[in-house]
Amino acid sequence: GSPEGRKMMQFRKSLPAYNEKNAILTAVSENQVVIISGETGCGKTTQIPQFILESEIDTAHGASCSIICTQPRRISAISVSERVATERGEQLGESVGYKVRLEGIKGRETRLLFCTTGILLRRLLVDRSLKGISHVIVDEIHERGMNEDFLLIVLKDLLSRRPEMRLVLMSATLDAELFSCYFNKAPVLCIPGFTYPVQTRFLENILEMTGYRLTPYNQIDDYGQERAWRVSKQGPKRRKSQIASAVEDALRTADFREYRKETQDSLTCWNPDCIGFNLIEHLLSFICENERPGAILVFMTGWDDINSLKEKLLAHTILGDPTRVLLLTCHGSMASSEQRLIFDVAPDGVRKIVLATNIAETSITINDVVFVIDCGKAKETSYDALNNTPCLLPSWISKVSAQQRRGRAGRVQPGECYHLYPRCVYNAFAEYQLPEILRTPLQSLCLQIKSLKLGSISEFLSRALQSPELLAVQKAIEYLKIIGALDQNEELTVLGQYLTMLPVEPKLGKMLVLGAILNCLDPILTVVSGLSVRDPFLMPIDKKDLAEASKSQFSRDYSDHMALVRAFEGWKYAEKEFAGYDYCWRNFLSVQSMKAIDSLRKEFYSLLRDTGLVDSNANTCNGWSHEEHLIRAVICYGLYPGVCSVVHNDKSFSLKTMEDGQVLLYSNSVNARDSRIPYPWLVFNEKVKVNAVFLRDSTAVSDSTLLLFGGSIMKGDVDGHLKMLGGYLEFFM
């Protein structure tokens, strides 16, 4: 081959996976299921699919082999396929391709396809036995995402029907035993890893080293952070509070006597519930000034704290100076082309700093990283049993995750890792993260089981690697019946079939479907997108009154959702000038949220076109109606049974739900500012239990709207619905 080709081959041979090539190929040919574990970066994702491809081509099975390799995220599916094509000296679409939602490159000769887990599940929907697929490789199984656990049940079934098909499971950590048992004692191959030594520093060491002093005040330096902190306190999740209390115990009994007095004082001020932006800034400038060259990777929890930190750093004299620092970000809601910038190498003398979520933990490798800063948290979807909805909250990571993060530092030369929490807190972490299937609501999963015609939901889920509690399954089925997605026999209704085509929460899917049917899609796209991003209405604590007043000027109709629609439309109008920054600043709105809503709207719209509910030739949102009652009805249709009654007293009103009795509104709701609401009901998006139950984002609706558009009326169950509403009315009369 060419000089580049030879160089690339040399590089591939230097990877630890290459030494195991023969052992891997032998195991795969002799066993239907093989489990492979090995440190991040050892070559699992890029090499093992290629080994299989090359050996199939060599053994003349080439023409008939077809390998699918799933990735938990879009960015890894795309970037890995690019990398593998490059290694083979090809263009994408020759032997290697990829497919993710709404995007893909694949040619007639493509034998190795990287795709997201969701794509493979969709393929199973139309092709139950994966005809023509010779190998399925499921990557990053240690993450235990809902889709991956689901896929494994389906594949386990399929293997007995397709004895010649091969399944390879790959994991970055050594939790392989569980999978081996699940697949009938399948062999486990471990690729010995190589990383350079990484010097580990915990908070106490960082404070000693940099002389930085924590005060109770300097940690809460961002109102967004303060809000995240308040929310995280309220989590009803059993496991989280278990870890949180383990952390508190660890702190109570910790002994820091060997450290300097200032360090000890600082540690008593440390607040485990917030991320110290000032500390991070201080540490970053310390590294930039005192340490050797090398990129810095900072693990944050999500795009909101990444953006807040970025803004803070840009205001810093050194860190914000583009001639000295290349500041990049990487999180799941960025476009993949933007995410890819993190692989860029900084010019000589410029320090690269990447602020990333845990997507940089295992699936992607940023090669030039020497320093890692780990905030110790990640956003985890958790199941809010109270209102049966998923919520994304920052929570402590597991020991395995912390080790993975540390491992990102030793790839190119000896590295350094800074954990922003004391060692005793690390010791209190759980060994592994709880699998998603055990901590999130199962509604979407139940719909998927039905659409794949996999039989009884509870029987199917009892065959999972780790089965969810029966109660959680029953709650999900009950919810799907109430919203009209399943009928009394647990079969999909017409609505249910549409919802399985829309990869969003059922309540959002319902709004999209009805919005399309009633031709008022444009505002509904904004509502649905708005519910999927961080609250665009900012509430700085020191300007709370102003911010609340500002939000209420967008409201004329007792609806937080419609206030959002107006705010967004104002921004679209103002966007032509400086991306609408000025408009957002004046109105206490987040520009990032507005941009995210804008791009989500397009994504949701094209999903709807795939369902056939909107004209597939139309390029723009065709439902322009802004008829207020229609929008209200669609919102009600989606949010039901999230409903409470409005009871007026002399000068004010109180709110009640059937399950909780009295409930309250967050003060930033437009409905909290009125003393009268001329409607008998509020439908709401989310309930949060603190000391009382609070409702977030509500819209007032009339009796007839609730009667006609709440719940299951659309499938014609008028009687059942009247009965339910009757029960509700009786309860409050």
CB of 729 to Mg ion, least distance (A): 56
- Tell me which of 215, 242, 367, 553 binds ligand ADP, using CB under 6 A: 367
What mask, x for binding ligand ADP by CB under 6 A, covers residues 225 to 264?
----------------------------------------
Q: Is 47 in the site for ligand ADP (CB under 6 A)?
A: yes
DSSP 486: B
The span from the CA of 307 to the CA of 488, in Å, is 46
The span from the CA of 424 to the CA of 416, in Å, is 19
- Tell me which of 25, 28, 37, 43 binds ligand ADP, using CB under 6 A: 43
- Given a contact cutoff of 8 angstroms between Cβ atoms, the answer to whether 700 and 559 are in contact is yes
β-strands 33-38, 166-171 pairing: parallel
With left for phi above 0 and alpha for psi between -120 and 50, is residue 241 left, alpha or beta? alpha
Q: Is 37 in the site for ligand ADP (CB under 6 A)?
A: no
Q: Is 50 in the site for Mg ion (CB under 5 A)?
A: no
CB of 44 or CB of 534, closer to Mg ion: 44
Q: Using the structure block, give the residue that is written with the tokens 């490159």.
A: 105
The span from the CA of 442 to the CA of 438, in Å, is 9
DSSP-derived 3-state class of residue 603: helix
Q: Is 41 in the site for ligand ADP (CB under 6 A)?
A: yes
Q: Is 45 in the site for ligand ADP (CB under 6 A)?
A: yes
Q: Is 468 in the site for ligand ADP (CB under 6 A)?
A: no
Tokens linked to 731: 């309860």
CB of 364 to ligand ADP, least distance (A): 7
Q: Is 112 in the site for ligand ADP (CB under 6 A)?
A: no
CB of 46 or CB of 493, closer to Mg ion: 46
**Torsions phi, psi of 95, nearest 5?**
-75, -20
- Given a contact cutoff of 8 angstroms between Cβ atoms, the answer to whether 486 and 84 are in contact is no
- Find the helix packing angle between 494-501 and 591-611, rounded to 10°: 120
Instruction: State the burial class of residue 142 (Cβ atoms within 10 Å of its Cβ: 0-12, 13-18, 19+).
Output: buried
- Find the helix packing angle between 303-314 and 277-290, rounded to 10°: 50
Query: Looking at 36-44, 114-122, 143-151, 474-482, which segment touches Mg ion (CB under 5 A)?
Result: 36-44
- Tell me which of 37, 40, 401, 645 binds ligand ADP, using CB under 6 A: 40
- Tell me which of 18, 25, 33, 46 binds ligand ADP, using CB under 6 A: 46
CB of 51 to Mg ion, least distance (A): 14
DSSP for 51-104, written as a single string: HHHHHHHHTT-GGG--EEEEESSHHHHHHHHHHHHHHTT--TTSSEEEEETTEE
**What residues form DSSP beta bridges with 295?**
369
Closest CA to 526 of 596, 590, 585: 596
Query: Looking at 35-43, 92-100, 591-599, 696-704, which segment touches ligand ADP (CB under 6 A)?
Result: 35-43
- # of chain residues touching Mg ion (CB under 5 A): 2
What mask, x for binding ligand ADP by CB under 6 A, covers residues 59 to 88?
--------------------x---x-----
**What residues form DSSP beta bridges with 486?**
492
DSSP-derived 3-state class of residue 269: helix
CB of 47 or CB of 668, closer to ligand ADP: 47
The span from the CA of 374 to the CA of 357, in Å, is 10
Tokens linked to 474: 């029953």
- # of chain residues touching ligand ADP (CB under 6 A): 15
What mask, x for binding ligand ADP by CB under 6 A, covers residues 592 to 621?
------------------------------
CB of 136 to ligand ADP, least distance (A): 17
- Tell me which of 36, 38, 74, 256 binds ligand ADP, using CB under 6 A: 38
Query: Looking at 36-44, 58-66, 90-98, 325-333, which segment touches ligand ADP (CB under 6 A)?
Result: 36-44
Q: Is 171 in the site for Mg ion (CB under 5 A)?
A: no
Run of H or E including 730 = helix 718-732
- Given a contact cutoff of 8 angstroms between Cβ atoms, the answer to whether 592 and 310 are in contact is no
- Tell me which of 45, 339, 550, 685 binds Mg ion, using CB under 5 A: 45
CB of 62 to ligand ADP, least distance (A): 22
CB of 399 to ligand ADP, least distance (A): 19
CB of 91 or CB of 367, closer to ligand ADP: 367
List residues near Mg ion by CB under 5 A. Answer: 44-45
Using CB under 6 A, list all residues that contact ligand ADP. Answer: 15, 38, 40-47, 79, 83, 343, 365, 367
